[in-house]
Amino acid sequence: MTDKNRIVLAYSGGLDTSVAIGWIGEQTGSEVIAVAVDVGQGGEDLEVIRQRALDCGAVEAYVADAREEFADDYCIPALKANGLYQGKYPLVSAISRPLIAKHLVRAARQFGATTMAHGCTGKGNDQVRFEVSFTSMAPDLNCISPVRDLALTRDVAIDYATKHDLPIETTKNNPFSIDQNVWGRAIETGFLEDLWNAPTKDVYSYTDDPTYPPLPDEVVISFEQGVPVALDGKQMSMLEIIQELNRRGGAQGIGRIDIVEDRLVGIKSREIYEAPGAMVLIEAHKELENVTIEREQARFKSRVDERWAELVYDAQWFSPLKGSLDAFIEDTQRYVTGDVRMTLHAGRATVTGRRSDSSLYDFNLATYETGDTFDQSHSRGFIEIYGMAAKLAAARDVRFGNGVDFGVGNLANE
């Protein structure tokens, strides 16, 4: 080890972060350690990425296959919280950043680095998620963003890569900014920045066109305490379950999302997502919660879920409040065990059956047929007392001439 400062860079293997290795070195005089984390984004082999980082001038390169960890420790909590930001976005990028940050901090400790770096721009959420995650785990570390802080624009990157003959393609002109992992895929920029422009076919890669679906596909998803454990009776890991549902849900065009999103930095942005596995799982999980969670707990949980999604979106994965909400959510999952049957077809995952030993559904209480054990005579007294407060308020309104106007004069005063 030299006495030079060391910087750990979140490395994707793409053009911008490949150039960033040399760029950071030149601009800061520090040594760069590249860290690539596989969260199921597909694409290149980790060893190829590792070698490229070294070829681009990294003094160390660390790659981690974090797919199982991502599925178990990030996707499962997101599923237990039915995590949907603004009721729609399954937090694809938002849940990956804390995990990537964790691996980066580990590398910083291992290789004696004092500064962290990432390839995010200065106007997105991901810069905040990385940096707040870093400080939440390691308050002593600094952070820089070469794009934001060292003027590493795309044109500069292309020039630099050509001039230094870096082993990375500079010609591929993808108009979109894409972030993907096993939980889903986010697509932004390009012509999508015009809110009126419909997404074209080439935007999608996890999903096929739902308007030309194959035959309906029936799937049974089994859960234990809120965690998916089997598909069609076959035990599988969370990672395998997401992957298989990405395939099967994707073939049916399920999980395409087009939203104008409220970013943490205050702007609205147009985002396209595709998250077939995540959306199928969330739908199934919500349904099993419906039959296994007590009403008041369920009502409260939906508010906790919403807040959880906001916190995770807003870079608060490691925050105390998020931790407390996790504890509440975990407690609610005790009886969320059972099976949900769904038909996957033409862009929709439709629940067609649910069964659970810990269900709160009581056939004999619900039925209108023989076997009914619900004593309807109790309802009379219940309604009398339940409606008492409303009755008192209404009587006062009438006394003050503020009763409901039926359009025929105030009957009570005639």
- Residue positions forming the annotated binding site for L-citrulline: 89, 125, 129, 177, 261, 273
Stretch that binds ligand ARG, among 10-18, 53-61, 174-182, 351-359 (CB under 6 A): 174-182
CA distances from residue 161 to 10, 26, 154, 175 in whole angstroms, order as listed: 18, 14, 11, 19
Active site residue 97: yes
Considering the complex, what minimum distance in angstroms separates the CB of residue 84 from ligand ARG?
12
Question: By C-alpha distance, which of 184, 369, 352, 356 is closest to 259?
Answer: 184
DSSP string, 303-333: HHHHHHHHHHHTT-TTSHHHHHHHHHHHHHT
Q: Which is nearer to ligand ARG, 137 or 178 (CB)?
A: 178
Give all strands (DSSP E) within 128-267, no chain letters: 142-144, 177-181, 184-188, 217-224, 227-231, 234-235, 256-262
Backbone φ and ψ for 136, nearest 5 degrees, come out as -70, -30
| Rounded Cα gap, residues 242 and 240, in angstroms | 6
| Given 28, 41, 82, 93, the residue binding ligand ARG (CB under 6 A) | 93
| Given 153, 177, 364, 367, the residue binding ligand ARG (CB under 6 A) | 177
| Rounded Cα gap, residues 66 and 72, in angstroms | 10
| Given 36, 182, 186, 336, the residue binding ligand ARG (CB under 6 A) | 186
| Rounded Cα gap, residues 257 and 84, in angstroms | 11
What are the structure tokens assigned to 250, written together? 């994707």
Annotated binding-site ranges = 10-18, 89, 119, 121, 125-126, 129, 177, 261, 273
Active site residue 177: yes
Q: Which is nearer to ligand ARG, 92 or 284 (CB)?
A: 92
How many amino acids of this chain bind ligand ARG (CB under 6 A)? 11
The reply to whether 126 sits near ligand ARG by the rule CB under 6 A is yes
Task: State the Cα angle at 262 between 186 and 285, rounded to 5°.
Answer: 60
Task: Return the sign of the alpha-carbon dihedral for residues 284, 287, 293, 297.
Answer: positive
| Rounded Cα gap, residues 189 and 322, in angstroms | 30
What does the per-residue mask of binding to ligand ARG show for 377-396, with x meaning CB under 6 A?
A: --------------------
Considering the complex, what minimum distance in angstroms separates the CB of residue 253 from ligand ARG?
21
At 23 the three-state DSSP class reads helix
Q: Which is nearer to ligand ARG, 257 or 293 (CB)?
A: 257
What does the per-residue mask of binding to ligand ARG show for 252-281, with x meaning CB under 6 A?
A: ---------x---------x----------
| Of 177, 205, 324, 379, catalytic | 177
The reply to whether 188 sits near ligand ARG by the rule CB under 6 A is yes
| Of 52, 97, 348, 354, catalytic | 97
Stretch that binds ligand ARG, among 175-183, 278-286, 297-305, 359-367 (CB under 6 A): 175-183
- Binding stretches for ligand ARG (CB under 6 A): 93-94, 125-126, 177-179, 186, 188, 261, 271
Q: Annotated catalytic sites, by residue? A: 16, 97, 126, 177
